[in-house]
A and B are shown apart, each in its own frame.
Chain A
């Protein structure tokens, strides 16, 4: 479903990604691991269209999405839960969620989409009229995920969704994500906690210095000394 081949991305005059290649098949749950500054967020940003690719190809559902605008990618079924959530703090929870359905194709189904989101995260239903800025970290994360789901995406990109979330809510969010996956949504998850990541995804890529350097299923990676070396730094 998603294919990146030798993608390079620049941030201004600095090259952020040099050579990223990965594949995500339909309904797969794939992880993207790596150190800070390795390029994980940039990769997700490139997929959704926040950053144009300097070279290489990106394909989604058979179509090239390399230089496409974010709005077209969202309309095509890709959604991003960004690092830091990026909610609209002075808008209500419901308004935040509604913005997720901004794409013209998604607007008609707003009511149903909202109902589905409230069913997935009941606590948001209680807080629907509260300003998003007043919610706790975990609740805000739920809003961010809910907002991304409002456009009915088939590919969900998640960028470190557990930062600043209390452990209890982490559990709840993971349960919700499993339900979403069961519903047929493909996911690409960026995560720093390898334990948590490998618990959830079937396989993962490791990015280092803007390049994909390792790939493998859960067990293959854990047993791989190169993996513990590169990522954990335990020699």
Chain B
């Protein structure tokens, strides 16, 4: 167990954690505005990843193009999904709308996983780009990893700018903190919700492409990701971007370290155990919403 090996693990963990954080960003924005538990959110990543690798395998497109294709597609999908399947439920009683959204999102999860599996097979796949290895001492980093880290960084910064400097972004934060207050400022709540849902889904598209560049994807991994995303937003606070990033990185690194020092198979359980532990001590989550 050398320092170099440890650093290698840390880098991998940061990478993975950053990607988790991207998934969580989308969920955080959506949940803050729409207040709906979307069980199929993580499945979007598995679908996106499978689609991306399929497109790559067929057309050899550069990941940037893959992103340019998938983002609008996911935006449109998110918008329609919310507008036709979820929004109508809001008119119902609290009990029925809660139950309804559970059933709709669970149904979507099953459908999406199954269709993706039929489309591309249930086996894992990814985007096997050629890369160069850069060696710093005994640490090996691939250019792919650098690209991904770069992508994560860029996206995070872009999102921060978006949330602080654009009207749409500020409106998202406002609605998360006080929906009535936002309404009387003239924020149209139904369009806002649909747009946020769409936007949150399109962030996952980016995460999906980046993810499949370095890790394998399969059609059924979605739910586990959703659980991790939930864990992250509870740790970081709903609507809190920086908190989600830190929580995501923390989770990724923790999983890596668990695998390194103990056993890799336990890594997935980590997020869950963490979630339960944190919620015991802080029943309302950790961070403040921003």
Q: Which residues of A contact B (CB under 8 A)?
A: 48, 50, 69-71, 74-75, 79-80, 82, 85-91, 95, 98-100, 102-103, 106-107, 147-148, 151
Q: Is the CB of B184 within 8 A of A91?
A: no
Q: B180 — nearest CB in chain A belongs to which residue?
A: A86
Q: B171 — nearest CB in chain A belongs to which residue?
A: A102
Q: Is the CB of B188 within 8 A of A88?
A: no
Q: A148 — nearest CB in chain B belongs to which residue?
A: B184
Total A-B contacts with CB atoms under 8 angstroms apart: 69
Task: Give the residue of A70, A87, A88 whose beta carbon is less than 8 angstroms from that of B186.
Answer: A70
The list of the 4 closest CB pairs from A to B, nearest first, reads A86-B181, A74-B186, A103-B186, A88-B177
Q: Is the CB of A90 within 8 A of B181?
A: no
Q: Is the CB of A99 within 8 A of B171?
A: yes
Task: Give the residue of A48, A95, A98 whose beta carbon is less than 8 angstroms from that of B184.
Answer: A48
A70 partner residues in chain B, CB cutoff 8 A: 183-184, 186, 188
Task: Give the residue of A82, A95, A151 whose beta carbon is less than 8 angstroms from that of B180.
Answer: A82
How many residues of B are counted as interface, with CB atoms below 8 angstroms from the partner's CB atoms?
19
Select the residue from A85, A91, A99, A147 with max chain B CB neighbours within 10 A: A99
Which of chain B's residues 178-198 have a Cβ closer than 8 Å to chain A? 178, 180-188
CB distance from B138 to the nearest CB of A (A): 45
Select the residue from B167, B181, B184, B290 with max chain A CB neighbours within 10 A: B184
Task: Give the residue of A85, A99, A151 whose beta carbon is less than 8 angstroms from that of B182.
Answer: A99
CB distance from B289 to the nearest CB of A (A): 6
Q: B189 — nearest CB in chain A belongs to which residue?
A: A70
Q: A81 — nearest CB in chain B belongs to which residue?
A: B184
Q: Is the CB of B185 within 8 A of A100?
A: yes
B173 partner residues in chain A, CB cutoff 8 A: 88, 90-91, 95
B14 contacts chain A at the CB level, 8 A cutoff: no
Task: Give the residue of B183, B186, B288 whose beta carbon is less than 8 angstroms from that of A90.
Answer: B288
Given contacts A82-B181, A86-B180, A107-B167, contact A91 B186 (CB under 8 A): no
- When chains A and B are docked, how far (Å) is the Cα of A6 from the Cα of B288? 44
B263 contacts chain A at the CB level, 8 A cutoff: no
Q: Is the CB of B177 within 8 A of A91?
A: yes
CB distance from A39 to the nearest CB of B (A): 18
B174 contacts chain A at the CB level, 8 A cutoff: yes
Q: Is the CB of B185 within 8 A of A90?
A: no
B167 partner residues in chain A, CB cutoff 8 A: 102, 107
